[in-house]
Amino acid sequence: MKKHIIEIEYSEVDSINNLSNEDAYLVAKAREVANNAWAPYSNFLVGAAVELENGKVIIGNNQENAAYPSGLCAERVALFAANAGYPNSAVKTIAISAFNKKGHVQEPVKPCGSCRQAILEAETRFEKPIKLLLDGANSIYIMEGIASLLPLSFGKRDL
């Protein structure tokens, strides 16, 4: 038996003020739209802002439903809206932010498995990595592509 270790690479900043203007704008948008999430059951409000290569910014937030799991995460809401409205424009960056009953989550929020897979599909579709900005009150993680969060992914090459 062989043992393998998978390492991931990401950058971290301690404040939105230490991001580029473009990235800071996306994180601020994700924070803003999180406040409009429909999350009466979990009280976990998530917002996502997607920047496309054409310069458009598409927003999304989580939408819960009493008939769980009929709701949808913020990341997929934003990605699917981007693909529907701008099917020929690749996603450049996605910023994700979250709040709970205590306020802004302390650690950077991470996408769930389904959202990671949807981000992978968006990367595969245009054959370009998507920058991820994972926002938390204590820090923001910056990742250059979903492989950092989904290193042993399943995609079209596996079919």
Give the DSSP H or E segment for 97.
strand 91-100
What phi, psi does 39 have (nearest 5°)? -135, 60
Tokens standing for 69?
A: 């799991």
Q: Per the residue annotation, which of 75, 107, 121, 144 is the catalytic one?
A: 75
Answer yes or no: 144 catalytic.
Answer: no
CA angle 34, 54, 157 (to 5 degrees): 85
Any residues with CB less than 8 A from the CB of 158 and at least 6 apart, and which? none
Active site residues: 75
